[in-house]
Structures are given as structure tokens and as C-alpha cells.
Chains A and B, each alone.
Chain A
Amino acid sequence: MRNSLAALEGASTLFRKEVLRFWKVSFQTIGAPVLTALLYLMIFGHVLEDHVQVYDSVGYTGFLLPGLVMMSVLQNSFANTSSSLIQSKVTGNLVFLLVTPLSHGAWFAAYVGASMVRGLAVGLGVFAVTAAFIPLSFVEPWWIVIFAVLGSGLLGSLGLIAGLWAEKFDQMAAFQNFIIMPMTFLAGVFYSIHSLPVFWQQVSYFNPFFYMIDGFRRGFFGQCLPLVQPGRGGHGLCGSGGLGAVLVGPRLQDSRLNSLIDSG
């Protein structure tokens, strides 16, 4: 019983430390991504408002905003775990954690939990700043909550895997810029995939980020893009992906962490 309480305290300390880590540099970790999303919104919204119409009743800016929010949630959840882990590895201070009695499950819960807090904080930040001048409806709020929470958990877990895999900043930057960034940008944040040629539409259906963003949008508009119906295919895939990350993550981490320990 005493050991279980100690283990719980250990995990919650790591979680608090990870939250504190990004909070101490919140200009960079929350303020900057919110500003970036706003800039996208202003520029693309201004240029394309009169040219692109995805849903009958929704203007382009209204369509763009949820996509940008979800993109920010996903990218920042990934960034939090991956940057924290790679920094600790490169600077060597990971040793302070490796000598503790924390279980692999505790590591996973704390790192991914903190990354979800950051991702969701950035998402809420974008909403908060734009709420006054871009009116949005919340037709199916549970879709918003579930996709945001599972999506951030999924990307937080992916960040953990990337952080465990990468040995130097260069490898991490490659993972972020050549995998995460293109997949989020090409997931229909700025456009409807209907506007793409058929081939690229088909390619988009293999991009899991498309389902995360489309499912999140459904919470606002009550409808998904016509080619993908709710409850089938991609959204279910995405949901189970998030759940899968939570279940499988600790195992993945387990094996990788062991090799990390050995190489240390």
C-alpha cells in the first residue's frame, strides 16, 4: 500500500514536472503556436474566404478554424514529449529519472498526460483568441472532446516513441519536419480533400491525420466530408488508434526504454 502510494506520487511528480517544464517557457510552447495559428487564419481566411466553400452553411474561415485548432493540438502534443525526452537524453539529465523506482507505465502516463495538457492548452488558446470574431456552433460537442483528447494522446505517444528513437536533435527534427508536419498539413486543414484530384483524394484516405481533423470538425458542423461516414472506416480507425496508443504505448516504450537504459 505504501509502495503504491509512493509510485502514484512518483508518477504525479513526473507529470507535474513535465507540465511545469513547458509552462516555464509558455511564450514559446503555448503563445507561439497560438500566434502561428492566428496568422494562418488571418492570411488564408482573408485570401480564400470568397473562393472556397466546403459546407453550404459554413464560410471558409469557419471551416478553417477547427482544422487549425486540431492541427495545433496534434503538433504541440507531439512536440512536448519528443522535445522533453530528446533534451533530457542529449543533456544527460535523463539519468535522474532512470535511477528512480518509477515504472514504465508511470513514465508513459506522465509524459503523455503532460503532452495532452499542452496540446489542449494551445487548442483552447486558439479558440479563446478567435471566439470573439469567428462565431462557431458546437453541434456535437462530444466529438470535439473525444477527438481532441484521443488525438493529443496519440500524438503525445508518437512523440514519446520519436523521443526514445532519436539519438540527436537532427533525427528528431527530421521526424517532425518530414513526417508529422507534412501529414498534418496534408490532412485537409486548409482545404477540403474534395478539391484534390481523385488520386490524391485516395492518398489522403491513408493519412490518419485526415480522420482526426475531420472527426474533430464534425463536432462543430454535425457532418463529416461526404466520402467518409461517421462510425465507419477512418473515424473508428482514428479512435481505436488513440486507444491503441494508450494501450500499446507502454509496451513499445518498455522495450525501447530497456535499450535506452543499456545504451546509457
Chain B
Amino acid sequence: MSAVIFDCVEKTYSDAPGSLKALDGVSFSIEPGEFFGLLGPNGAGKTTLISVLAGLARASAGRVSVMGHDVLTGYAQARRALGVVPQELVFDPFFSVRETLVIQSGYFGVRHNGAWIDELLEGLGMADKARVNMRQLSGGMKRRVLVAQALVHRPPVIVLDEPTAGVDVELRQALWHFISRLNKQGHTVLLTTHYLEEAEALCSRIAMLKKGRIVALDRTENLLAGTASTMLRFKTDQALPPDVAAQARVTGRSVQLQAHHAEEVEGVLKRLREAGVRVEDLEIGRADLEDVFFEIMQNPAHAGQP
């Protein structure tokens, strides 16, 4: 039995101008114990898909199930199996950290949850904040409470919707250490993130979403192997020749170009020399997930299902 199944999920916002189709026939499943990454640019439909999974939005068509329970007809069991860390930094200002976690446990029918709450507070490095009111916490600490709230009923499936957005390096490390430990213990993790190096390091399988459609879905190593295996990276202050610029990814002074083999690298360098472009810090390296992501998102052929 799959941990999560999306079956031809569609979501149309008819009140949006021109009727926005946020999800357009999304189908894939996540197996128990997987660390699954869901990537896509802003507006691709990632949060909508997670909202449908969590019961925060209704699919216009299709079915979604969690641990075999349909999110509509078996919503109570589906939600008990699911822990969602929302993207927005929200909190209830009336309560302390411990009160927040005890209340959240109660909603799921879990009583006498003190030992697990202590473990969560310890694991997320906030044992000393248990009695502090939510209002008095820093942004990073509030984010940790959101994670603890999602885990308080020990769900087998954990959904993290951009949990490290605007979070410092220390917390990011602590968070991934904790989530990886849970994953090793058998929890299934579904992650959306903008930090592609995180997804590359953590996720065993990745789906890429573009305009509400899955445009890539494979094991992380296959995605990395299946695209341009070499990247040419350099810095320059000068304008690139138009034919090179058309294929380049430029960020400030930094330029990245795909090169499938050595001749192609030589060809690019020759064009730059002919155009009189001076390059610095030239390096040739392996393509990373960001390169794969960029290639897939730029490719007009990826308009539909793979």
C-alpha cells in the first residue's frame, strides 16, 4: 500500500480571472518510508497539491489518499496519518509552546502525550522554551513549534511545505537532522522546497511540477544522470555573444552553460575568445539538481505529463 496516492487530481479556481487551473491531472504515489521531493517554481501548484492532501482545499476532480484512506470519505483517518507543516509562520498568541502542543495533541484525540512532547522539544532544540508564550518567540523558534505541532500525534506521513524558507543555517541543519532521523525510523516525508541542494541531498525521489502538471518524476540520481552531465561555469563583466547568451543561465556576473561533451566546452570557449569576452574563475563541474531543474523548467517540450 502506498503512503500517499494522487490520482488524476485537478483543481480549478473558477473565481479567478479566466478560471485558473492550478492542478491539471496530477498522478503519482509515494511509497512508505520514502523521502520525496516536490519541486517547482512559484505558482506551479505545489501548495495547492499539499492543500488538497491536507484537506485545506477540495480537488475539482481526481482522488487523493493517505495510508489507504481517501482524504474526503475517510478524512478522519487520513488526517490522523498526516502531519502538515504549513508554509506560513502562523501561531496562536494566547498560548505557551507546551500548551500549543498539548492542545494540538488533544485535537487528534491523543492524551497524556507529555513524554513525546518533551522528546519533540528536545529534538528541535527548544526544551528551554516550553513555558514561553508563542508571541515572545523568534521567527526560527516559531518555525520549530510548527514542526513540533505537525508531529505531535506521531503521523506516519509528514508533509513539509517549504519549511526552511527564511530560516538560518543552524536551524536548517537541526531541522534536517531531526526529519532525517524520523525518516530513518520509517516515517514517509513529502517535502517542497526552493533550496534545491536540500532536495538533492535529502530526497530519494523527486517530482517536478510546472503549471499544475508533473513534468519530471524519477529517482534523484536518475534525474541527475539523465540531463547534461557537465556544466561550464565562469564569471565575466562583458556581454556574451547572442548565440551563447541564448543558452546561458546568468546570475549577476556568474554564467552557467550546459556542455554535453568536451568538444562542446571547446566550442563555447572558442566563441567567447572570438567575441573578445574575458572570463574569470572558469570551472567545469558535474550538473546538480538546480541545473536539472533549470533545464526542465526552460524546456518547452515539458508542457505535459512525462
- A interface vs B, CB < 8 Å? 3, 5-10, 12-14, 16-17, 20-21, 24-25, 88, 91-93, 95-103, 258, 261-262, 264
Contact = CB atoms under 8 A, between A and B. Distances in A.
B88 interface: yes
Closest 6 CB pairs of A and B: A6-B109, A13-B106, A101-B76, A92-B90, A100-B107, A9-B109
Contact of A261 (B55, B84, B111): B55
Looking at B51, B75, B91, B106, the one whose CB has the most chain A CB atoms below 10 A away is B106
Contacts of B77: 3, 101
Given A13-B106, A95-B90, A96-B104, A7 B56 contact: no
A169 to B, nearest CB: 15
Given A7-B76, A9-B106, A13-B106, A96 B92 contact: yes
Contact of B107 (A13, A261, A262): A13
Contacts of A95: 56, 86, 88, 90
Contact of A98 (B56, B103, B105, B106): B56
B86 A10 contact: no
A78 B21 CA distance: 39
Given A20-B94, A101-B80, 19 more contacts: A3-B77, A6-B80, A7-B109, A9-B106, A9-B109, A91-B90, A91-B93, A93-B90, A93-B91, A95-B56, A95-B86, A96-B92, A99-B55, A99-B82, A101-B76, A101-B79, A261-B56, A261-B58, A264-B51
Looking at B57, B76, B79, the one whose CB has the most chain A CB atoms below 10 A away is B76
A10 B106 contact: yes
Nearest to B150: A99
B76 A264 contact: no
- For the residues of A in contact with B, the DSSP-based class is helix
Contacts of A103: 76
Nearest to B109: A6
Contacts of B107: 10, 13-14, 96-97, 100-102
A44 B39 CA distance: 66
Contacts of A14: 106-107
12 contacts: A3-B76, A6-B110, A9-B110, A10-B107, A10-B109, A16-B106, A91-B91, A96-B107, A99-B55, A101-B76, A101-B109, A261-B57
B25 to A, nearest CB: 20
Nearest to A260: B56
Contacts of B79: 99-101
Contacts of B84: 99
B78 to A, nearest CB: 8
Contacts of B80: 6, 101
Looking at A3, A101, A262, the one whose CB has the most chain B CB atoms below 10 A away is A101
Nearest to A13: B106
Given A10-B109, A102-B107, A261-B58, A96 B149 contact: yes
Contacts of A91: 90-93
Looking at B51, B86, B104, B107, the one whose CB has the most chain A CB atoms below 10 A away is B107
B66 to A, nearest CB: 12
A8 B106 CA distance: 10
Nearest to B81: A101
Interface in B64-100: 75-77, 79-80, 82, 84, 86, 88, 90-95, 99
A101 B75 contact: yes
A91 B77 CA distance: 27
Interface in B22-58: 51, 54-58
Given A92-B88, A101-B76, A9 B54 contact: no
B61 to A, nearest CB: 14
B108 interface: yes
A95 B88 CA distance: 10
Contact of B111 (A9, A100, A101): A9
Contacts of B95: 20
A227 B111 CA distance: 54
B87 to A, nearest CB: 10
Nearest to A102: B107
A103 B92 CA distance: 21
Contacts of B82: 99
A83 B105 CA distance: 24
Contacts of B57: 261-262, 264
Contacts of B105: 13
A103 B75 CA distance: 9
B108 A262 contact: no
Nearest to B82: A99
A197 B203 CA distance: 77
A99 B92 contact: no
